[in-house]
């Protein structure tokens, strides 16, 4: 019993959904507004490089079973790379490694009192061993961490990172989200040979082999019910009718595409909060972080970036993680930040934003000069980081919408986990299972099915 299914969005969620549905024999059409598959995990390639580089910095953890399991199904596990790079924190004008090979020694070097170090370490160990997140969403991360870890450790080590990631929402984020970050984290960080884009293209290729069609540069403008109980998808080239539609875009786009959604479901979409992401990628002639740090988290004492010491949240030297020989010898550096979708960073020109970020680099390496820069790129996304507030699970819209045959699967719904390709794959396969189950119920109820 073949059904016609539309998937909106060719990111990791959409591709994973389509993969399972195509495997089940359904006729799948994927609509992607962009020029390539991948969504927020998509990459780009300079003419001097052998590998692609992600537009927004990405890595997997060794515990990311969903995406690593899918890669194994594709027969490409030998292309997964899991090195152990150094991630660090900038405090008091210097770099402190956080995930060095001897993490105990690294933590003992942190510039806080011995009591704060002990409490910090014990709380971290508790969160790694504790596996019931549900009670933690009833309180904020700020309140829980300040109470258990103590004011000193929280104020010096975590408060500024929450501000950097969530801006004015930093004191509203619930503790379940923070737990998930610690619980799943590993010191080994993974990527795919050739970059994430190579993995996504491999998955897209398998989909095409199964008969799925991927329509790039094709923006969906509306989803509407038909008189026969199906769904019509409107694109620039016309109108197609499907038995099921899975939308993997943002809540804001879902509201615009499906105006027929009932008010209570639409209100849930409207109430979801999120941050945007901005990234300046630099190809440098020389190494910037000479201590070998891959990921350097920068402190923020207030959400107002114009008054903060650092104009961005994270400094990521990708080629302290992956061999720069894959990138024509370039030293590749990300300057990245999360800001509200209406922030000035989205209004500035690319040159203005790049200049603002580049102006801070000499703090980390006094030898840095602008003639180190061979090339630069700017990427921005208004929907990149969901904001999970207290009791967030009660506020989430269901994967099944009230409109029959319409499903919604966004990064906001991977909660309590943080957004990323692992949970995108996991959710994509989950929603594919829901669709298949619902098709089975229709068949059992004697409703007509389409045979091909």
Predicted confidence at residue 104, as pLDDT, reads 59
pLDDT tops 60 at residue 445: no
Which residues, listed in sequence order, are joined to residue 279 by a DSSP beta bridge? 336, 379
The DSSP symbol for 418 reads P
pLDDT tops 90 at residue 352: yes
Mean local confidence (pLDDT), 428-448:
81
Count CB-CB contacts under 10 A for residue 180. Answer: 20
Q: How many residues does the chain have?
A: 452
Residue with tokens 């720069």: 324
Predicted confidence at residue 447, as pLDDT, reads 58
Q: Are the CB atoms for 144 and 175 separated by under 8 Å?
A: yes
Predicted confidence at residue 268, as pLDDT, reads 96
Distance CA 400, CA 268 (A): 13
Predicted confidence at residue 231, as pLDDT, reads 98
The SS3 call for residue 31 is: strand
Residue with tokens 């829901």: 434
Mean local confidence (pLDDT), 314-340:
97
Distance CA 330, CA 114 (A): 41
Predicted confidence at residue 448, as pLDDT, reads 47
Distance CA 424, CA 418 (A): 10
- Model's pTM, two decimal places? 0.93
Lookup: tokens for 39: 């969504």
Distance CA 317, CA 287 (A): 8
Domains of the chain: 4-52+194-272+396-444 (3.50.50.60), 81-191+274-391 (3.90.660.10)
Mean local confidence (pLDDT), 50-66:
96
pLDDT digits 0-9 by tens, 65-104: 999 999 999 999 999 999 999 999 999 899 998 875 555 5
On average, the pLDDT of the chain sits at 93
The rounded percent of the chain whose pLDDT value lies above 90 is 86
Mean local confidence (pLDDT), 161-189:
93
pLDDT tops 70 at residue 444: no
pLDDT digits 0-9 by tens, 217-256: 999 999 999 999 999 999 987 999 999 999 999 999 999 9
Q: Are the CB atoms for 10 and 33 separated by under 8 Å?
A: no
């Amino acid at each position: 019993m073949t059904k016609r299914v539309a998937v909106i969005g060719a990111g990791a969620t959409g591709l994973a959904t389509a993969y399972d549905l195509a495997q089940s024999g359904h006729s799948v059409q994927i609509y992607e507004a962009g020029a390539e598959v991948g969504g927020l995990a998509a990459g780009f390639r300079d003419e001097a490089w052998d590998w692609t580089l992600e537009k927004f910095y990405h890595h997997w953890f060794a515990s990311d079973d969903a995406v690593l399991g899918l890669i194994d199904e594709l027969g490409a596990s030998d292309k997964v790379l899991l090195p152990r790079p150094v991630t660090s924190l900038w405090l008091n004008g210097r770099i402190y490694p956080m995930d060095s090979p001897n993490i105990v020694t690294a933590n003992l070097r942190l510039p806080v009192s011995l009591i704060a170090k002990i409490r910090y370490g014990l709380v971290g160990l508790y969160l790694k061993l504790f596996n019931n997140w549900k009670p933690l969403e009833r309180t904020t991360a700020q309140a829980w961490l300040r109470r258990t870890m103590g004011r000193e450790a929280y104020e010096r080590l975590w408060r500024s990172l929450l501000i950097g990631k969530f801006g004015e929402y930093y004191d509203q984020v619930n503790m379940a989200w923070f737990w998930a970050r610690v619980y799943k984290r590993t010191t080994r960080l993974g990527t795919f040979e050739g970059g994430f884009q190579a993995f996504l293209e491999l998955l897209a290729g398998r989909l095409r082999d199964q008969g799925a069609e991927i329509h790039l540069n094709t923006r969906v403008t509306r989803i509407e019910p038909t008189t026969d109980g199906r769904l019509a998808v409107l694109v620039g080239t016309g109108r197609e009718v499907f038995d099921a539609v899975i939308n993997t875009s943002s809540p804001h786009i879902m509201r615009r595409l499906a105006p027929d959604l009932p008010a209570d479901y639409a209100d849930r979409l409207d109430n979801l909060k999120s941050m945007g992401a901005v990234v300046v990628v630099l190809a440098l002639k020389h190494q910037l972080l000479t201590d070998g740090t891959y990921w350097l988290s920068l402190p923020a004492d207030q959400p107002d970036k114009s008054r903060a010491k650092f104009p961005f949240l994270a400094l990521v030297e990708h080629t302290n993680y992956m061999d720069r020989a894959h990138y024509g010898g370039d030293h590749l550096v990300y300057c990245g930040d999360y800001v509200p979708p209406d922030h000035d960073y989205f209004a500035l020109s690319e040159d203005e934003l790049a200049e603002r970020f580049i102006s801070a680099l000499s703090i980390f390496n006094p030898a840095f000069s602008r003639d180190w820069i061979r090339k630069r790129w700017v990427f921005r996304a208004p929907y990149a980081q969901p904001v999970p507030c207290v009791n967030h699970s009660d506020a989430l819209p269901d994967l099944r919408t009230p409109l029959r045959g319409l499903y919604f699967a966004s990064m906001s719904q991977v909660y309590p986990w943080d957004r990323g390709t692992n949970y995108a794959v996991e959710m994509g396969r989950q929603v594919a299972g829901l669709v298949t189950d619902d098709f089975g119920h229709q068949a059992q109820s004697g409703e007509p099915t389409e045979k091909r």
